[in-house]
Amino acid sequence: MSKITETPKPSEKPFVFFDLGETIVDLKDTIRVLARLVADQYPTGALWASDLAKSWFLELARSLPRKETEPFETQEQVGTRVLTRLLRDRGIPAEAVEAGRLLRRAWDEWQAHARLCEGVTKEWLVEIRRLSAGIAAVTDGDREDVGRLMEETGLEPYFDFVTTSEEVRAYKPNPKVYQAAMDRMNAPAHRSLFVSDSPLDLVGAAAVGMGCAWLSRVAGEEQEAVPRGTVRLRRPSDLNRVLLQFVGLRRFVQP
């Protein structure tokens, strides 16, 4: 077996591509913020605001047009439509404009106080940068919102590029999202690793030949749900060893 060096040369280092939501940035606080704003705005909202916010969070992800045959919509458009329907289901005759304003307030407030996921720190990102040829984010989101989030969280200096679904006009796992991200980094697929908490994200990465790392924080999740050869990470710090091993082995293996 080739020796694994602790100081890899730049030409030997892998490129790392991160999903943002629930991999780097905690999204669940959006539920709490939206629930509070709904309860404040509607007289009966306190009775069902929490359930509505949870439903919105889940249905937004399910409603994004992920198939290539579906026309593209921004995340704000989809989120507004979902929120409008959920409000109407609870007897609130909300129009899309009203729901859109409410959603905008929720996103703005959440972004201003967004937290990083457990185990993700600026110091860790510095170390990942040292071990890699470059770091990028690939995320389902609108360009302005993602840019604001990167700025508010202080993440912007740690990433070389951020590729959003709005820029590519497609959502993960569409392969062209990942290909666009690699093209921006001039990163060959065999030296590229995509890291995500979502097995669905990894399907698209594998389709373009990228290595896959599943950040599986929940005990009991099945390995069969992810593409063959996927590296499983229990915590972000496991990624450090994966990157070091790549230098000697020229492939991504279990830490």
| pLDDT tens digits along 23-78 | 999 999 999 999 999 999 998 989 999 999 999 999 999 999 999 899 999 999 99
> pTM of this prediction?
0.92
Residue range 235-244: mean pLDDT, rounded? 97
Task: Please check the confidence at residue 214 and state whether its pLDDT lies above 60.
Answer: yes
Backbone region of residue 209 per phi and psi (left: phi > 0; alpha: psi in -120 to 50; beta: other values): left
Asked if 195 and 211 touch (Cβ cutoff 8 Å), the reply is: no
Same domain, 169 and 238: yes
How far does CA 12 lie from the centroid of its chain? 26
Same domain, 35 and 135: no
- Asked, for residue 170, whether it belongs to a domain, the answer is yes
Task: Please check the confidence at residue 211 and state whether its pLDDT lies above 50.
Answer: yes
Asked if 233 and 255 touch (Cβ cutoff 8 Å), the reply is: yes
Residue ranges making up the domain that contains 95: 29-112
CA-CA distance, 77 to 92, in Å (whole number)?
19
Same domain, 217 and 134: yes
At residue 220, the pLDDT reads: 62
How far does CA 133 lie from the centroid of its chain? 20
Asked if 169 and 74 touch (Cβ cutoff 8 Å), the reply is: no
Number of domains in the chain: 2
- Asked, for residue 107, whether it belongs to a domain, the answer is yes
Same domain, 18 and 73: no
